[in-house]
Structure 1
Amino acid sequence: MNANELITALGAEFFTGVPDSKLRPLVDYLMDTYGAGNAMHQIAVNEGSAAALAAGYHLATGKTPLVYLQNSGLGNIVNPLLSLLHEEVYGIPCIFVIGWRGEPDLHDEPQHLVQGRLTPPLLETMGVQTMVLTAETTPRDVARTMERLRPDLTAGGQCAFLVREGALSYPKHKYVNAYTLRREDVIDRILDAAGDAVIVATTGKTGRELFELREKRGEDHAHDFLTVGSMGHAGAIALGIALQRPAQRVLCIDGDGAALMHMGAMASIGAAAPPNLTHILLNNEAHESVGGAPTAAGSVHFPALAESLGYRMVRTAATAEELTRALTEMQTAGCLTFIEVRTAIGARADLGRPTSTPAENKEALMHTLQA
């Protein structure tokens, strides 16, 4: 089913959410049709915020909004769904379109398997009526389901369309920015400067590139924590390590979409100000790991934000020379440091995934930290 056919069948006029790889056809259609950051389409910083945006739309118009997300974002949805949208509270209707990672009988990454298995019963527990979309689902099937669900939505209920692999199609939108530094090259330079520092890498391609660079360099992975899930929490993980191991240098390699998703963690980091922690933000203004749709980072001045939150040394880099200078200063700073690196959108076509399990990654890092 083409993404525009799905939108027509659902009958929604306002769209907000967090991009997902299985929903890329939908997001690309919305970007081509409406753009982002306007009264028709908002890419939210996290799924809970998207639910709140949707509530505001309904309050202003009386119409039913559409919220899209990956099922890993259901955790961020639970509170606003049950304490804001639910028919026993404000009774705000909402259509959820959810990319189903970790769906049964389909190979996926370990961080998606439990969430994938629990997605249907979780939606059922929350009272969200659900239809699964497959490659065989037709627009007429969706329209019939909407006819059946419309009275429940009118009464303040919510429904979900769970999107399986290949259920949606749409020509891919190509996303670019004006920056030239390749993220993988930046991470390689960070490794040159890291020494024996422990590195916490954010979810997505950043962690995958870090893993493959260690392999290429003939280094082990015992100093790295690859945050394969839990998008937005790498900074807090790094803070927890830095506070408990003050003699250990800790680097957090973060992404703009992840940092925005749970930006309050930067306030906690700034308040604690561990001198052994460096927070490096690779900012390409895109949700690249799930297709490249823009984040809100284009309007955020991260260095000023970091300084206002209590980071002691703040640097920014958009060229190789600026990156070299920032990493050199990082090595002798002796204080909580923030470095924003502006990077291009794009990765190697043959980029692989970690070959060790999350549990193996954890055990190796803990051995390093406790040695």
Structure 2
Amino acid sequence: MQVSVFIEQLKRVGASHFVGVPDSQLKALCNYLYKNCGISPDHIIAANEGNCTALAAGYYLATGKVPVVYMQNSGLGNVVNPIASLLNDRVYGIPCVFVIGWRGEPGLKDEPQHVFQGAVTLDLLKVMDVASFVVRKDTTEQELAVKTAEFQPLLAAGKSVAFVVAKEALTYDEKVSFKNDFTMTREEVIRHVTAVSGEDPIVSTTGKASRELFEIRVQNGQPHKYDFLTVGSMGHSSSIALGIALSKPHTKVWCIDGDGAALMHMGALAVIGSQHPRNLVHIVINNGAHESVGGLPTVANHARLADVARACGYGNIKVVSALEELDESLKEAKDAGALTFIETKTAIGSRADLGRPTTSAMENRDSFMEYLKELR
């Protein structure tokens, strides 16, 4: 189904305000919105899905119009609270249309972090009293229109509804490309980090960063035991690294983070700063984009992340945009006895042949834990 047809059905319930977190399953929708609305009051890319839902609630309170929140189903965990304690018709009765990319749909092969989430997606919506309809590749415009008409009285009664979008259900023919003016690539940054970190443990964030780290280890002939690949739980890799650093105070611990992930749960920076572990190096690879799910922009280039880290209590702060600056900062961080934050300004893009880890999440956990046991 062409995404324009889907948008027209949303307009039938008065929905014209969109806020979301990009998702590869919703790439057609995301690209359509960016092409037609840009980033504007009518289309906001928020920090996390709970943030989206609260923004949508504010829009409804101010206008009386139904908002649309889009996300990957992995983000449902971030919206349970605002759906249950803000939107629900036994609280404020604020209607919202959710458009949810269905990763890990039962019966379809997907990455391990999506399997359980995919299996419980429809049940979770039901428990939260959100009526849902699955949009599939063969869903007709008439079927969608019938369901939209069924949803209208629910929305009018202050309830929320969800369109769960299956793989390849929405299409968009126009090409949308994203780029910036920086020259360092994320893969180059990670390669330089592994060169300096040596055998120190690394926690890497969700998406392409972990995929690139895995392949760099293969290319270097190194074992994967040094790395914890946070394949899910976007925004939590820095907290995982903090937990390790506090438990292994004599071991240098490195966190390879992304700008979208750092924004998603920015409160982690304050917690890290309050604990000020002298053995933690927090590297945020900032390309200003949600690249792993399509490339739409984040607000990281408006946030001055390094200043946020400084205000949160990080002791050693660097911002770099060239490999020479990066190497100098990494070597200093390796030897420093201070909580370090390095923001790297990088280009958008990755290798077309970038693969995925060939070991399971459980295997990654076990080898990493065994390695940590060897360290002081």
- Mark yes or no: TM-score above 0.5: yes
TM-score, normalization: structure 2? 0.97
Corresponding residue to 1:339 among 306, 325, 342: 342
Q: Which residue number corresponds to residue 219 of structure 1?
A: 222
Matches of 1:23 and 1:351 in 2, distance apart? 21
Distance 1:313 1:139 in 2: 56
- Residue 85 of structure 1 is matched in structure 2 by 87
Could you tell me whether the CA contact under 8 Å between 2:319 and 2:344 is conserved in 1? yes
Decide whether the 8 Å contact of 1:266 with 1:306 is kept in 2: yes
CA displacement at 1:178 relative to structure 2: 1.0
Query: Is 1:210 aligned to 2:219, yes or no?
Result: no
1:260-310 residue CA offsets vs partner (Å, 9 max, x unmatched): 000000100000000000000000000000000001112011111111110
1:147 aligns with 2:149: yes
In structure 2, what is the Cα distance between the partners aligned to 1:259 and 1:139? Answer: 39
**Cα displacement string for residues 20-52 of structure 1 (whole angstroms, at most 9, x for unaligned residues):** 00101000000001111x210100100000000
Note the alpha carbon deviations across 1:94-115, whole angstroms, 9 max, x for none: 0000000000111000110000
The residue number in structure 1 matching 2:107 is 105
In 1, Cα distance between equivalents of 2:56 and 2:76: 15
CA distance in 2, matches of 1:196, 1:149: 55
**Once structures 1 and 2 are overlaid, which stretch shifts more, 46-55 or 1-10?**
1-10
Q: Please say if 1:360 is aligned against 2:363.
A: yes
> Of residues 160, 166, 177 in structure 2, which corresponds to 1:158?
160
AA of the residue aligned to 1:65: P
Partner of 2:325: 322
| Separation in structure 2 between the aligned mates of residue 19 and residue 2 of structure 1, nearest angstrom | 18
Q: Structure 1: which amino acid aligns with 2:283?
A: I
Q: Which residue of 2 aligns with 1:8?
A: 8
Task: Provide the C-alpha distance between the structure 2 equivalents of 1:351 and 1:222, rounded to a whole number of angstroms.
Answer: 20
Q: Distance in 1 between matches of 2:25 and 2:220?
A: 33
CA distance in 1, matches of 2:317, 2:334: 13
Question: Which secondary structure state, in structure 1, belongs to the residue aligned with residue 262 of structure 2?
Answer: helix
The one-letter code matched in structure 2 to 1:205 is K
State the Cα RMSD in Å: 0.7
Aligned pairs for 1:15-54 (under 5 A) are 15-36=18-39, 38-54=40-56
Q: What residue in structure 1 maps to residue 277 of structure 2?
A: 274
Structure 1 residue 255 corresponds to structure 2 residue 279: no
> Quick check: 1:132 aligned with 2:162?
no
List runs of 5+ in structure 2 lacking aligned partners: none
Query: Within 1, Cα distance between the matches of 2:360 and 2:318?
Result: 34
Deviation (angstroms), 1:141: 2.0
Residue type of the alignment partner of 2:184? L
Give ranges in structure 1 of 5+ residues lacking alignment: none
C-alpha displacement at 1:139, in angstroms? 2.7
Q: Which residue of 2 aligns with 1:177?
A: 180
- Paired with 2:239 and 2:122, the residues of 1 have a C-alpha distance of 29
Match of residue 296, structure 1, among 299, 309, 312: 299
- State the secondary structure of the residue aligned to 2:6: helix
Do 1:205 and 1:289's aligned partners in 2 also have CA atoms closer than 8 Å? Answer: yes
1:69 paired to 2:100: no
Task: Name the SS for the 1:6 alignment partner.
Answer: helix
| SS of 1:98 mapped into structure 2 | strand
Q: Distance in 2 between matches of 1:237 and 1:324?
A: 25
- Equivalent position amino acid for 1:7 in 2: I
Aligned-residue offset at 1:196: 1.9
Q: How many residues align?
A: 370
Displacement of 1:180 in angstroms is 0.6
Q: SS in structure 1 opposite 2:99?
A: strand
Please say if residues 252 and 334 of structure 2, whose CA atoms lie closer than 8 Å, have aligned partners that are also in contact: no
Q: Which amino acid aligns with 2:5?
A: E
* SS of the residue 2:66 aligns to: coil
| C-alpha separation in 1, matches of 2:51 and 2:141 | 29
**Deviation at residue 191 of structure 1 after TM alignment:** 0.6
Match of 2:198 in 1: 195
Q: What's the CA shift for 1:64?
A: 0.4
- CA distance, structure 1, for counterparts of residue 247 and residue 330 of structure 2: 24
| One-letter amino acid matched to 2:326 | L
Q: Which amino acid aligns with 1:103?
A: E
